[in-house]
C-alpha cells in the first residue's frame, strides 16, 4: 500500500513554479553590485532590521531538508544570512537581498531559514522597504509576534511566503482599510487580501482559522494548505481567474465543490483540495482547452459519478479521487486522456467490471493505478498489463520495482 508521502510524491510539480523566485533572485543578486549600489536609506533599514532579531537555529540540516527540501521556495539552505550584512559594504551584495538594477531599491528579501528569532513589531524597519516585491520569511521563529497591519503598506508585493504561528492576526489587523467584507450567505465575513500585484501567495502550515481568505485577483499561485480553515469555498474565488495553482488541501472546508472551479481559469494546472470535508457531486464544468494537469479531491465525502467533462482536460496527468463516497462504474472513457499517468480511485463505491468488449486497453502513459477497496467484479484481462508499457519503466530501468509499491 502506498504511504501518504509516496501518494503525495506526484504533487512535487505543484511546487516547481516557486523555483522561479530563486533563479531570478540569484541572478539579480550576483549582478546588482556591479550595476547599481544600494541606496543609503535601504542599507540603513536593513541594518536596523538585523538588530531586531537574535540568532537561533530552529532545526538541523537533516530536519530542514527532510521537511522542506522538496520545495525550493522555502528551502535554500539553512544559515544566518544576516551575518553578511555589514555597514561598510554594498547591501545589494548581501545574502538574501535583491536590488533593482536601475535605481538600487531593495525589491527582494529572502530570509527563509535564516535562524531569526524575535518579535516582528509594527515599527519594524522592514516596513520602510516600500519597494519590496518579493518577501520570504519562512522557517524562522516569530512565534511571539502578532502580525502587524503594516504589511498592507508593502503595496508592491507580488510574491510572499510567510509562516507565522499567529498568522491569523494579519487577516484581522488589516481592518477596514485593507479588507473588503463580502456578505451573502457565508457563515463569517469574507477576507479579501490586499497587494494588488501579488502573483505568488503562500500561507501554508500556519494556524489560520475561519473562512477561506480570497487572494488578490492578480494571484497565479495560491497555497493555503495545512491550516484550520472552515466553511464553504466562496464563489468569489472564481474571480481570481489568473490562478495556475490552487492548493487548499488539509483543512476543514465543507460543502459542494463550486460549479465554477472547472472553468474559471483556462490556465489552472493544479487543483488540490484533498483531505477536507467536501460533499455532493462533482460539477460537469470542465472546459475544452483546459490546462489542468493535477486534480486531487481525495479524502473527502464526494458522491455520484466522475464528470465526463474531464475528458476535455487533455493535459491531465494526475487524477486522485480516492477515499470518497463515489458510486460509479469503471471510467473506461479516461483511457482517451493521452497524458494520464496516475489514477487513484481507491476506497469508493465503484462497481462492475473494469473492462468490456469496447475497451481499447489505452492508458499508454499510466504509471500508477489504485482501484483497491471498491466493488469491482469479473476478471482482470491480461491485455491491460501488456499495453501499460509505462508501468514497466522505473527511472529508465525495465522490470524494476516501482516506488509506488514500496512500504
Domain for residue 170, yes or no?
A: no
Range of the domain at 1: 1-17+244-407
- Confirm whether 338 is domain-assigned: yes
Give the number of domains in the chain: 1
- Alpha-carbon distances of 345 from 130, 247, 304, 373, rounded to whole Å: 49, 20, 13, 9
Tell me how far apart the alpha carbons of residues 229 and 372 are, in angstroms, rounded to a whole number: 30
Q: What is the pLDDT of residue 324?
A: 98
- Within its chain, how far is the Cα of 185 from the centroid? 28
pLDDT of residue 287: 82
What is the per-residue DSSP string for 229-298? EEEEPPGGGGG-TT-SEEE--SSEEEEPPPGGGGTS-TT--EEE--SSEEEEEPPS---TT----EEE--
Residue 256 lies in a domain: yes
Q: How far apart are CA 149 and CA 165, in angstroms?
A: 16
Whether 56 contacts 141, CB under 8 Å: yes
- Tell whether 394 is covered by a domain: yes
Q: What is the pLDDT of residue 160?
A: 56
Q: What CATH number is associated with residue 375?
A: 3.80.10.10
Q: Residue 59's pLDDT is what?
A: 52
d(CA 222, CA 200) in angstroms, rounded, equals 6
* 3-state secondary structure at position 225: coil
**Segments of 100-247 assigned E as strands:** 106-110, 116-117, 134-136, 159-161, 200-202, 209-210, 221-223, 228-232, 245-247
pLDDT (tens place) for every residue of the chain, 407 residues total: 444 444 444 443 334 334 444 434 444 444 433 456 789 999 999 999 999 888 877 654 444 443 444 344 444 567 889 999 999 899 999 999 999 988 889 999 988 778 888 877 888 899 899 998 888 877 777 665 555 667 777 777 755 555 444 444 444 444 333 332 222 222 333 355 666 777 888 777 766 778 888 888 888 989 888 888 999 998 888 889 899 999 999 999 999 998 888 888 889 999 999 999 999 999 888 888 789 999 999 999 999 999 999 999 999 999 999 999 999 999 989 988 999 999 999 999 999 998 766 666 678 888 899 999 999 998 877 776 666 776 655 444 444 444 444 43
Phi, psi at 2, each rounded to 5° = -75, 130
CA distance 301 to 275: 9
User: 108: exposed, middle or buried (C-beta count within 10 Å: 0-12, 13-18, 19+)?
Assistant: buried
Residue 280 lies in a domain: yes
Q: Is residue 257 part of a domain?
A: yes
> Is 3 among the domain residues?
yes
Residue 321 lies in a domain: yes
Amino acid at each position: 500500500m502506498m504511504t501518504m508521502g509516496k501518494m503525495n510524491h506526484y504533487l512535487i510539480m505543484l511546487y516547481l513554479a516557486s523555483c522561479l523566485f530563486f533563479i531570478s533572485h540569484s541572478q539579480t543578486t550576483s549582478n546588482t553590485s556591479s550595476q547599481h549600489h544600494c541606496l543609503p536609506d535601504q542599507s540603513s533599514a536593513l541594518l536596523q532590521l538585523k538588530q531586531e532579531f537574535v540568532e537561533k537555529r530552529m532545526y538541523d540540516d537533516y530536519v530542514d531538508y527532510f521537511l522542506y527540501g522538496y520545495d525550493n521556495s522555502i528551502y535554500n539552505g539553512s544559515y544566518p544570512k544576516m551575518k553578511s550584512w555589514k555597514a561598510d559594504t554594498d547591501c545589494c551584495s548581501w545574502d538574501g537581498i535583491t536590488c533593482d538594477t536601475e535605481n538600487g531599491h531593495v525589491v527582494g528579501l529572502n530570509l527563509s531559514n535564516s535562524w531569526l528569532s524575535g518579535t516582528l513589531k509594527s515599527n519594524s524597519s522592514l516596513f520602510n522597504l516600500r519597494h519590496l516585491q518579493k518577501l520570504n520569511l519562512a522557517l524562522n521563529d516569530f512565534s511571539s509576534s502578532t502580525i502587524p497591519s503594516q504589511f498592507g503598506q508593502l503595496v508592491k508585493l507580488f510574491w510572499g511566503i510567510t509562516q507565522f504561528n499567529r498568522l491569523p492576526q494579519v487577516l484581522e489587523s488589516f481592518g477596514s482599510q485593507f479588507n473588503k467584507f463580502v456578505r451573502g450567505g457565508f457563515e463569517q465575513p469574507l477576507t479579501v487580501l490586499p497587494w494588488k500585484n501579488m502573483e505568488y501567495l503562500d500561507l501554508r502550515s500556519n494556524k489560520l482559522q475561519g473562512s477561506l481568505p480570497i487572494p488578490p485577483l492578480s494571484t497565479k499561485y495560491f497555497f493555503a494548505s495545512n491550516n484550520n480553515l472552515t466553511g464553504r469555498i466562496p464563489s468569489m474565488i472564481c474571480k481570481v481567474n489568473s490562478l495556475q495553482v490552487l492548493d487548499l488541501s488539509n483543512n476543514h472546508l465543507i460543502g459542494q465543490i463550486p460549479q465554477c472551479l472547472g472553468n474559471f481559469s483556462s490556465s489552472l494546472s493544479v487543483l488540490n483540495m484533498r483531505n477536507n470535508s467536501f460533499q455532493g457531486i462533482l460539477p460537469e464544468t470542465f472546459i475544452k482547452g483546459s490546462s489542468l494537469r493535477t486534480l486531487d479531491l481525495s479524502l473527502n465525502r464526494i458522491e455520484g459519478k466522475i464528470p465526463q467533462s474531464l475528458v476535455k482536460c487533455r493535459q491531465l496527468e494526475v487524477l486522485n479521487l480516492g477515499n470518497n463516497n463515489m458510486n460509479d462504474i469503471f471510467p473506461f472513457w479516461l483511457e482517451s486522456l493521452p497524458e494520464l499517468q496516475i489514477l487513484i480511485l481507491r476506497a469508493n463505491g465503484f462497481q462492475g467490471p473494469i473492462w468490456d468488449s469496447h475497451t481499447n486497453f489505452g492508458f499508454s502513459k499510466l504509471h500508477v493505478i489504485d482501484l483497491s477497496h471498491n466493488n469491482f467484479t469479473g476478471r482482470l484481462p491480461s491485455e491491460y498489463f501488456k499495453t501499460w508499457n509505462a508501468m514497466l519503466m522505473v527511472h529508465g530501468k525495465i522490470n524494476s520495482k516501482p516506488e509506488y509499491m514500496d512500504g
